[in-house]
Amino acid sequence: MSARIAVPVFPGTNSEDETVRLLRDCGGDAELVHWTSAQTLASYDAYVLSGGFAYEDRIRAGAIAAHDRIMDYVIEGAQHGKLVFGICNGAQILLEAGLVPGTGPVRRPTAAFAKNAPEPHFVCRHVYLKLEIEPSRCAITAALPPWALVPAWAAHAEGRLAASPNDLEQIVSGDHLAFVYAHADGRVDDAAVPNGSALRCAGLVNGAGNVLAIMPHPERDGWNFNHLDRCSGDDVLAPSGGAALFRSFLEALS
Amino acid sequence: MTVGVSISLKIPDNTAYTALVALRRLGVDVDRVERSEILLFDDVDADALLARITADETMFNPNKHRVSVLQSAKPSWGEVWIEPLSNPGRRAVAWRLYNAHGSPVKRPVLEMAVERLLCNPAIERAVTRDLFDGDNRNESE
């Protein structure tokens, strides 16, 4: 029997359908689990927290959701080694829940994806995530090649990694910096960063390597129809591009 | 001199209500939560500032908001301001928590609310009155 993946839906989540669809198109057994059915989450093998505006981002992005009953199950699962993958608002929730970088107690965040800088505006821009760790450092990236480039869309107003100098140092020294922003040719510089993120960070991993949080959306660049110049005919419905990260996630579950 | 302006909702505040429900779930003994946005300006005329803000529909909607100039540009007793570390001293969110008797909650309850939900210390700081005046507060104030 294949691993069962839950895509939890908080009030305000808005990227759950494309997330489930890409997981299924890559061969995964994924289902939506709404907040009213949170008690069923314990029976799943892995969790993908998708994008949106959970609880309308009241107080702070991800702050209320981090204390939702859904997260009781996700945190318990993560502590028992289940894979947890957060995208955009899902990533913000994982930071607020203290699961990544995981350098402090649970639900005591040591970092945040804060308002973009220098302008605190919403950014919608095509980006590339460059794998900054050894692929095997994180179970979810283990099937990617070293220095893999994953295409995705940054679509957020709060995606700038922010933390104290001490916590940023711990992120670096603890090998928590999973992805940085890069150009299509793999070059990494400030021009590739859409939001002023510290360390040019696009994604963080926890110490155990089973929880990954990334800000950009690979599922919005995950099919050939997102790259119409490179496909034709029936090819348009085949997963590609950002699907590589989803395939790697599923590989870890197989 | 710094002039502080408070903008709050006169319609039901869903964010404050959400915070109330979340705080109770986190074990914070609180009966009511109020929230307002604080804006701080240096060396401005208070009346002119108020006129400017109330004329700016991106900041102030008379159908939804009430606005007032603060007596002093610092939190009241029993109130906490959450300021972004990236821009401290310019704007904040003020939270006022009340107990079942309608009084502001005591300091340990406010601190618990700040630590468990209201402030992410990675990007924000909590400012209370005693940071300005010293911790000489009379609890009945």
CA distance B21 to A78: 26
Q: What are B3's two structure tokens?
A: 């002039």
Q: Is the pLDDT of residue B112 over 70?
A: yes
Catalytic residue check, A88: yes
CB contact under 8 A, A115 and B84: yes
CA distance B67 to A89: 32
Task: Flag whether B94 is in a domain.
Answer: yes
Task: Flag whether B36 is in a domain.
Answer: yes
pLDDT single digits (tens) A124-175:
999 999 999 999 999 999 999 999 999 999 999 999 999 999 999 999 999 9
Are β-strands A83-87 and B32-42 bridged in parallel, bridged antiparallel, or unpaired?
unpaired
Using 50, 70 and 90 to split pLDDT, how confident is the model at B141? very low
3-class SS of residue B29: coil
Task: Tell me the HSE value of A165 on the side-chain side, using a 13 A CA sphere.
Answer: 0
Q: Please list the residues that pair with B37 across neighbouring strands.
A: B7, B93
CB contact under 8 A, A162 and B122: yes
Q: Whose CA is closest to A79, among A169, A211, A212?
A: A211
Among the partner-chain residues A64, A117, A167, the one whose CB lies closest to the CB of B22 is A64
Q: Does B122 touch chain A (CB under 8 A)?
A: yes
How close B139 gets to chain A, by Cα (Å)?
27
CB B113 within 8 A of CB B97: yes
Mean pLDDT across B87-106: 94
State residue A1's pLDDT score: 65
CB A245 within 8 A of CB A141: yes
Q: Does A179 touch chain B (CB under 8 A)?
A: no
Q: Does B15 touch chain A (CB under 8 A)?
A: yes
Q: Is B8 left (phi over 0), alpha (psi -120 to 50) or beta?
A: beta
Look at chain B and report how many structural domains it folds into: 1
pLDDT single digits (tens) A38-56:
999 999 999 999 999 999 9
Q: What are A168's two structure tokens?
A: 């940023």
CA distance A82 to A80: 6
Per-residue pLDDT of chain A (254 residues; tens, 9 = 90+): 689 999 999 999 999 999 999 999 999 999 999 999 999 999 999 999 999 999 999 999 999 999 999 999 999 999 999 999 999 999 999 999 999 999 999 999 999 999 999 999 999 999 999 999 999 999 999 999 999 999 999 999 999 999 999 999 999 999 999 999 999 999 999 999 999 999 999 999 999 999 999 999 999 999 998 887 777 777 888 899 999 999 999 999 99
State residue B137's pLDDT score: 42
Sequence-distant (≥ 6) Cβ neighbours of residue B84 within 8 angstroms? A114, A115, B91, B123, B124
Among the partner-chain residues A58, A59, A164, the one whose CB lies closest to the CB of B122 is A164
Task: Flag whether B138 is in a domain.
Answer: no
State residue B139's pLDDT score: 40
CB contact under 8 A, B122 and A67: no
Among the partner-chain residues A58, A107, A163, the one whose CB lies closest to the CB of B122 is A163
Which is more confidently placed, B69 or B131? B69
CA distance A122 to A159: 9
Catalytic residue check, A201: no
State residue A198's pLDDT score: 98
- Identify the residue among A56, A58, A119 best suited for mutation to test binding to B, counting B beta carbons within 10 A and taking the highest: A58
CB A30 within 8 A of CB A103: no
Among the partner-chain residues B14, B15, B86, the one whose CB lies closest to the CB of A114 is B86
State residue A110's pLDDT score: 97
Q: Is the pLDDT of residue B136 over 50?
A: no
Q: What are A158's two structure tokens?
A: 């709060």
- Residues spanned by the domain of B93: 2-133
Counts of helices then strands in chain B (DSSP H, E): 4, 6
How close A46 gets to chain B, by Cα (Å)?
26
CB A234 within 8 A of CB A33: no
CB contact under 8 A, A109 and B86: no
CB A30 within 8 A of CB A85: no
Which is more confidently placed, B132 or A224? A224
Question: What is this structure's pTM?
Answer: 0.94
CB contact under 8 A, B123 and A112: yes
Task: Report the CATH architecture of A4-253.
Answer: 3-Layer(aba) Sandwich (3.40)
- Interface predicted TM-score (ipTM) of this complex, two decimals: 0.90
Q: Does A121 touch chain B (CB under 8 A)?
A: no
Which is more confidently placed, B134 or A121? A121
Residues in chain B: 141
Find the angle CA(A106)-CA(B17)-CA(B39) to the nearest 5 degrees: 90
Using 50, 70 and 90 to split pLDDT, how confident is the model at B132? low
Task: Flag whether B116 is in a domain.
Answer: yes
CB contact under 8 A, A67 and B22: yes
Task: Flag whether B41 is in a domain.
Answer: yes
pLDDT single digits (tens) B14-69:
999 999 999 999 999 999 999 999 999 998 999 999 999 999 998 999 999 999 99
CB A223 within 8 A of CB A237: yes
Catalytic residue check, A219: yes
State residue A231's pLDDT score: 75
Domain ranges of chain A: 4-253
CB contact under 8 A, A162 and B118: no
Closest chain A residue to the Cα of B92, Cα to Cα: A59
State residue B134's pLDDT score: 60
Q: Is the pLDDT of residue B133 over 90?
A: no
Buried/exposed code over A57-94 (b: 16+ C-beta within 10 A; e: otherwise): bbbbbbbbbbbbebbebbbebbeeebbbbbbbbbbbbb
